[in-house]
Structure 1
Amino acid sequence: MAFDLASKLSAERALTPSPLIWKIKRLFNLGTEKQLRGAINRVNDLAEEDSM
């Protein structure tokens, strides 16, 4: 589920009218960028667990 969410949010990021919008949201860890960061962290954690 985390991978699906990360993929969806990444695609939505690509559709934003200006990269400045998502860059500011990422800088301040707001909204969808906060969700994206969390989803990516969960995917990374799961990948680490599987590799051990």
Structure 2
Amino acid sequence: MNLKKIVGFLVVIFVLFWIISQPTSASGSVNNVLGNLQQAGSSIATFLTNVF
């Protein structure tokens, strides 16, 4: 196995452990990330609307 596969495997294991051990914290973080993505998409759409 190369280093990239090992690191990827470790990241997946860490994320699963985090979700199982602290589900409330994990869901809050996911909600924050999705909210930020939604805000970024909205900002890009506003920018493109004003450009064209």
Superposition TM-score, scaled by structure 2 size: 0.47
Q: Which is bigger in relative contact order (C-alpha 8 A, separation at least 6)?
A: 1
More helix by share: 2
Q: TM-score, normalised by structure 1?
A: 0.47
- Larger-Rg structure: 2
